Amino acid sequence: MMATKHKINIAVIGAGRIGKIHCENLASVLTGAELTAIADINLEAAQESAARCNVSTAVPDYHELLADPDIEAVVICSPTDTHAQIIQEAAAAGKHIFCEKPIDHELNMVDQALEAVEQAGVKLMVGFNRRFDPNFQKVHNMVAEGNIGEPHILHIISRDPAPPPMEYLEVSGGIFFDMTIHDFDMARYLMGSEVSEIYAAGAVKVDPKIGAIGDLDTVIITLRFANGAIGTIDNSRKAVYGYDQRVEVFGSEGMVTAYNPVSDTHIYSNQEGIHSALPLNFFLERYATSYMLEMREFIECLQNNTPPPVSGMDGRIPIVMGLAAKKSYQENRPVQLNEVDGSNSK
Amino acid sequence: MMATKHKINIAVIGAGRIGKIHCENLASVLTGAELTAIADINLEAAQESAARCNVSTAVPDYHELLADPDIEAVVICSPTDTHAQIIQEAAAAGKHIFCEKPIDHELNMVDQALEAVEQAGVKLMVGFNRRFDPNFQKVHNMVAEGNIGEPHILHIISRDPAPPPMEYLEVSGGIFFDMTIHDFDMARYLMGSEVSEIYAAGAVKVDPKIGAIGDLDTVIITLRFANGAIGTIDNSRKAVYGYDQRVEVFGSEGMVTAYNPVSDTHIYSNQEGIHSALPLNFFLERYATSYMLEMREFIECLQNNTPPPVSGMDGRIPIVMGLAAKKSYQENRPVQLNEVDGSNSK
Amino acid sequence: MMATKHKINIAVIGAGRIGKIHCENLASVLTGAELTAIADINLEAAQESAARCNVSTAVPDYHELLADPDIEAVVICSPTDTHAQIIQEAAAAGKHIFCEKPIDHELNMVDQALEAVEQAGVKLMVGFNRRFDPNFQKVHNMVAEGNIGEPHILHIISRDPAPPPMEYLEVSGGIFFDMTIHDFDMARYLMGSEVSEIYAAGAVKVDPKIGAIGDLDTVIITLRFANGAIGTIDNSRKAVYGYDQRVEVFGSEGMVTAYNPVSDTHIYSNQEGIHSALPLNFFLERYATSYMLEMREFIECLQNNTPPPVSGMDGRIPIVMGLAAKKSYQENRPVQLNEVDGSNSK
Amino acid sequence: MMATKHKINIAVIGAGRIGKIHCENLASVLTGAELTAIADINLEAAQESAARCNVSTAVPDYHELLADPDIEAVVICSPTDTHAQIIQEAAAAGKHIFCEKPIDHELNMVDQALEAVEQAGVKLMVGFNRRFDPNFQKVHNMVAEGNIGEPHILHIISRDPAPPPMEYLEVSGGIFFDMTIHDFDMARYLMGSEVSEIYAAGAVKVDPKIGAIGDLDTVIITLRFANGAIGTIDNSRKAVYGYDQRVEVFGSEGMVTAYNPVSDTHIYSNQEGIHSALPLNFFLERYATSYMLEMREFIECLQNNTPPPVSGMDGRIPIVMGLAAKKSYQENRPVQLNEVDGSNSK
């Protein structure tokens, strides 16, 4: 029956690490779309991806793609500081948009982009891929279906195997915008309730260089939800045992958690103890399925003309949460979201 | 070689639930002590325990026991509001003291008791039994031995299977003093560092009657340690799946956790999923071993004239933490411990 | 209500390792019995146990106890080659009997003992303690209650942490009678069906000295059950990671297994992997609860005049299975139980 | 550096379920090969796969592909009874060969095929894909590297979620050739020793129709290895909880097992117990990675001119084991492999 669906012509803008993943999924796994063009200011990168994916068009300037009437949708994988601009241009050109997160670190830039999308009447989906991880999705579904009764407490553990390079950290916007932003989205996704207040405690424990640029590498965030529930987010830039991504939702009728998928299922017993494999270590490996599934859902919402599963507002709110977390840490006090959001949206 | 050690003559004051446990361990498991007398204002309760334990002396008034020169040590299991008073009298009578926690909810009462102990030169051990749980002890030891490097983050999950009766809650001093106090002690024990600041978020999610008496039933506490580490405590009065007692310490070189012991080790697989047994459900069952082991260590510190493994100061500090948590919740801001502790003891 | 039950006067014959356990459970845990006397040809051993357990009578000759009209039941913990003789004398003296397994290695001796018990009309319970292990009991109950549908396949893994001393092995009757006998009983207990045919494969892999005395240290046994199900038993004299005791029953509607209880619940994650604690290492520790529970059930069957949960025939059949396994190994072919059991019992 | 390697031109013969998997891996994942043609007597099936994989040549008769000088290697995925014939023709045409297992059920047919391969000097790899499953590979590697010391005992559990259709079973050659054959190979792979003797016990427990065609659906096989170790294989045609594929190797210095990968990592705790996800349920899902990795190794052995990791002899021996198992079941006695293998190969 998928065969009877219209095949969506899609172009990818940005052929870096994440752009390549989307290109490969669009070219070889997802049958609902046709990957027709790739743009990157580094033309060679665009051409390389095009060659791998049997795509005929590779260009250095994405405006060429926006001008192509056959292209129905674009996947924006360019650097963060170009997202808001490209969203506006793509919307004006009538293209549907899948944009990697975050939309922007500045709230007014986000709002301009969302405004453009609304005016153009195109669809915008923001790439919070972890929502499509089968493990977290299962937790979400069990909470949403009432298996744990009313949710009371949420815990998110989200630790990287190692910090990114300092050059990256210097322009990342800080841990709240670069790392916690995923967990802010996950918190809303799992609890089905908005966060109203945030308290952020932080430390520099992994690398003093991170502190030297005014950033943190170890944070614990307390969330208060509109429905009265409470939650925590735990971030560290370095877990020596690998990529540690767990969630737990506790409620009146039970608890549901998701632990880390492992690289293999062996268990070794010797005189010292019982030993098993480490978690999948790299985000591209850990979240490979989620990247494929989010793109499939984007294609399906275009085919079926349904709302995208992650909206522009879903992209905006974690930015507000990041601003609140930053202010909370700076002033060492709980901060309400409406303190940092003039528009008081939602 | 234990045989060559002096056998300690011990009396138990208070023959309630916890007093009975200590009586039975002293009478039938612990070979280093002789249980010689039991006191309870309810004489029948004292006599019943005495009969079960082959103890000849059962009295209604503990002063009789304090006056007996053959008794070397007392185990105080009477109601909390009598602890400080009995400690002072026992110290004055030259008895060594094991006292159930908490010493008192009032800091000045605690200080008077500790002062009396110091002046008398007797030993005082406070009954934070969870330190002697083999699972948490293993976590403590692995942290202390450097297996996880420098500790960065602590999580304590501590949820009861069901709230106690309202009559109990009304005189309990509130969740921070009745329930979290164990976790305040556990935090210090596991991290090997003092807590300097506390932020408490709380809610009434389990039973509105608990809210009606001004108490909370669901709390998340953020701890900042003197060494720069951060931690959380998660308390709920009701986990439908049983008594949930877990800890996790994360550090620069690894992580160590302890999960819940289960009632049996079966695993059942059918079409619906894979199913296993619930955690041990009742604190007397979950912590049975810890009650025995703490008493054994008390006896040994008397036999060997070494400091008790849980000191009077270890009894005092969680009270200060409870005061800080309460103030933090009331004012919705992080509170430093020295704000609530005039003496600034540490 | 237990209080209204008649308290059973019990004597223990044999104050070795297993005798001591029964003495301690009878003296301090089990309220339904009164331990009144202990016999051991080594009088000192009897006296030592008596002192520990506050028992006034300690004698070198068990005949004294059989002659005592106040003693209602005896617990036989003497060496195996005395069991059948003492059972006959105790039965003749009208005492109820709990006898450690095996009754005897010779089938005719077993039959004489069972005959004496039947003629005297006393109760006999055989000490297959593993039936009372809460983990295996749960598996048994789930199978018996139909949770896995019709049982198809059974697996029993039963490995010791280290071989016993050679002096012990020389008189043990061989691995099938000393070690597998527990698993023969477990197989019948879990499957609720008799074994009709046995095929035994064996090897000497742990210690050539074991082979030198004509014994095996590594065996795999295939069982065919009367109901058509199939099973295996896996025995090794040495598992370096500890005492390995697992079972798995697979059926038409599911599977239930029991894994090893561990010494503590910690999990340690570092760069090398995820590490947890070893199984409880020693049978007295692993099966402590089961020893207590089997004795409690023995007492209750006397108090309530109900049949013992492990009958004399339950003691006899594993001997027949051991004979079949031995013959199977010697002739390298499957052997039916009625080939080695003239009486063709049951 | 892979880039400098010669790209192998490969054709696939047979576009059924397993042929499609190899086509997709060759077309989109494996960069070392070029999939150039697909043959199937059902031309439509060949054309459909060709379209999905951007392959220009689709033919009904594989002889066309054997005649094409540009094709260096063929992947044989046609029905089993054509394998031996196509191997001989492909070898005569100078093509390297990857052949799905089994080569044939008749030993003389296998031997003719292997003879043709040897004479032609081409490479032959047999598709025992489970060797390339990362979980079993880890177990193999740990055994091979000596982590468990000398292997003493092997257990393989291999149960299907449901029996295949009766039409399939009628021509499958029986459970030993259709299902156990994988486990025969796994036994040799994990233990690094040949099997010398087999004892097979079997039953019809899943479906009487399977018995009616003279087949079994539940079997337990005892293996004796040349190195003195012992092992078991457990097969059932129906595990209601899903595809159950586990192995355990026990040795002098430890044990290594591999448990089932699960569909997601959630754990749900409620009043009834703790519940987690079922194993991956279908062999294409469970072994997806292994199919890709075995083909990658085939390509690499052609590129590097090294011996294939699974040889023709590795394809032959499990057939001999199947013959021994069948004879053992029929005669209810252990059967040595050389009883059923005139050539006594290896």
D148-171 residue pLDDT tens: 999 999 999 999 999 999 999 998
Given a cut of 60, is residue C346 above it in pLDDT? Answer: no
> What is the count of residue pairs from A and D with beta carbons less than 8 Å apart?
83
DSSP, residue by residue, B66-102 = HT-TT--EEEE-S-HHHHHHHHHHHHHTT-EEEEESP
* Nearest-5° Cα angle at C215, C210 to C218: 80
CB-based contacts of A42-49 (< 8 A; 24+ apart in sequence):
A42/A15, A45/A15, A45/A16, A46/A15, A48/A15, A49/A12, A49/A15, A49/A19, A49/A20, A49/A23
Of B234, A3, B267, B10, the residue nearest D275 (C-alpha): B267
A226 Cβ under 8 Å from any chain B Cβ: no
- pLDDT average, residue stretch A23-47: 93
Given a cut of 70, is residue B344 above it in pLDDT? Answer: no
B266-288 pLDDT tens trace: 999 999 999 999 998 777 788 88
Start-end ranges of CATH 3.40.50.720 in chain D? Answer: 2-122
pLDDT confidence tier of residue C1, bands split at 50, 70 and 90: very low
- Distance spanning both ends of chain B, measured CA to CA: 38
Backbone phi, psi, residue D192, to 5°? 60, 30
Task: Report how far residue D287's alpha carbon sits from residue D291's, in angstroms, rounded to the nearest whole number.
Answer: 6
Q: Identify each DSSP E strand in B96-159 by its residue range.
A: 96-100, 124-127, 151-159
The answer to whether the CB of D266 falls within 8 A of the CB of D112 is no
For the domain made up of C131-287+317-340, give the CATH fold: Dihydrodipicolinate Reductase; domain 2 (3.30.360)
Q: Which of A150, A199, A236 sits opposite B153 (nearest CB)?
A: A236
Chain position carrying tokens 């031309």: D43
C205-223 pLDDT tens trace: 999 999 999 999 999 999 9
Q: Give me the pLDDT at residue B29, please.
A: 81
* Nearest-5° Cα angle at A58, A55 to A64: 120
Q: Give me the pLDDT at residue A323, please.
A: 97
Neighbours of chain C (3+ CB pairs under 8 A): A, B, D
Inter-chain CB proximity D275 and B275 less than 8 Å: yes
pLDDT confidence tier of residue C343, bands split at 50, 70 and 90: low
The answer to whether the CB of B1 falls within 8 A of the CB of B300 is no
Q: Give me the pLDDT at residue D4, please.
A: 56
The answer to whether the CB of C93 falls within 8 A of the CB of C66 is yes
Residue A79, preceding bond cis, omega within 30 degrees? no
Given a cut of 70, is residue C150 above it in pLDDT? Answer: yes
Given a cut of 90, is residue C3 above it in pLDDT? Answer: no
pLDDT confidence tier of residue C172, bands split at 50, 70 and 90: confident
Q: Give me the pLDDT at residue C282, please.
A: 76
Task: Report how far residue C309's alpha carbon sits from residue C185's, in angstroms, rounded to the nearest whole number.
Answer: 13
CA distances from B91 to A56, B18, B98, B315 (A): 90, 22, 11, 16
Chain position carrying tokens 């749980």: B133
Start-end ranges of CATH 3.30.360.10 in chain B? Answer: 131-287+317-339
Of C270, D288, B84, the residue nearest A239 (C-alpha): C270
Query: Strand, coil or helix: what is B340?
Result: coil
Q: Identify each DSSP E strand in C93-181 by its residue range.
A: 96-100, 124-127, 151-159
Neighbours of chain B (3+ CB pairs under 8 A): A, C, D
A219-231 pLDDT tens trace: 999 999 999 999 9
Give B94 to chain A, closest Cα distance, Å: 47
A53-86 pLDDT tens trace: 889 999 999 999 999 999 999 999 999 999 999 9
A238-293 pLDDT tens trace: 999 999 999 999 999 999 999 999 999 999 999 999 999 999 877 778 888 999 99
- Nearest-10 crossing angle of helices D80-92, D107-120: 20
Given a cut of 50, is residue A172 above it in pLDDT? Answer: yes
Query: Strand, coil or helix: what is D2?
Result: helix
Q: Give me the pLDDT at residue B2, please.
A: 39
The answer to whether the CB of C163 falls within 8 A of the CB of C206 is yes
Q: Is A345 exposed, middle or buried (0-12, 13-18, 19+ CB in 10 A)?
A: middle
Inter-chain CB proximity D256 and A268 less than 8 Å: yes
Given a cut of 90, is residue B88 above it in pLDDT? Answer: yes
The ipTM of this complex is: 0.94
CATH 3.30.360.10 is the classification of domain B131-287+317-339? yes
Of A11, A31, A15, the residue nearest A74 (C-alpha): A11
Q: Name A148's Cβ contacts closer than 8 Å, sequence gap at least 6.
A: A142, A249, A250, A251, A252, A253, A254, A255, A256, D268, D270
- pLDDT average, residue stretch C116-144: 97
C289 Cβ under 8 Å from any chain B Cβ: no
Q: Across chain B, what does the average pLDDT equal? A: 94
Of A94, A91, A100, A75, the residue nearest A25 (C-alpha): A75
Of D129, D337, D345, the residue nearest D221 (C-alpha): D337
- DSSP structure class, residue D277: P
Mutate which: D154, D156, D205, D327, vs C, most C CBs within 10 A: D205
pLDDT confidence tier of residue A4, bands split at 50, 70 and 90: low
pLDDT confidence tier of residue C271, bands split at 50, 70 and 90: very high
Mutate which: D274, D275, D276, D281, vs B, most B CBs within 10 A: D274
Q: Which of A206, A230, A236 sits opposite B220 (nearest CB)?
A: A230
Q: Give me the pLDDT at residue A3, please.
A: 44
CA atoms within 13 A on the CB side of A213: 16
Task: Report how far residue A321's alpha carbon sits from residue A196's, in angstroms, rounded to the nearest whole number.
Answer: 9
- pLDDT average, residue stretch A34-55: 94
For the domain made up of B2-122, give the CATH fold: Rossmann fold (3.40.50)
A192: how many CB neighbours lie within 10 A of its CB? 14
- pLDDT average, residue stretch B284-307: 93
- pLDDT average, residue stretch B244-248: 98
Structural tokens at position C7: 């308290």
D34: how many CB neighbours lie within 10 A of its CB? 16
> What is the count of residue pairs from C and D with beta carbons less than 8 Å apart?
101
Nearest CA in chain C to B275: C256
pLDDT confidence tier of residue D3, bands split at 50, 70 and 90: very low
CA distances from A282 to A162, A242, A279 (A): 10, 8, 9
Q: Across chain D, what does the average pLDDT equal? A: 94
pLDDT confidence tier of residue B1, bands split at 50, 70 and 90: very low
A305-342 pLDDT tens trace: 999 999 999 999 999 999 999 999 999 999 999 999 97
D134 Cβ under 8 Å from any chain C Cβ: no
pLDDT confidence tier of residue B332, bands split at 50, 70 and 90: very high
D191-226 pLDDT tens trace: 999 999 999 999 999 999 999 999 999 999 999 999
pLDDT confidence tier of residue C5, bands split at 50, 70 and 90: confident
For the domain made up of A131-289+317-340, give the CATH fold: Dihydrodipicolinate Reductase; domain 2 (3.30.360)
- pLDDT average, residue stretch C6-21: 94
Start-end ranges of CATH 3.30.360.10 in chain D? Answer: 131-287+317-340
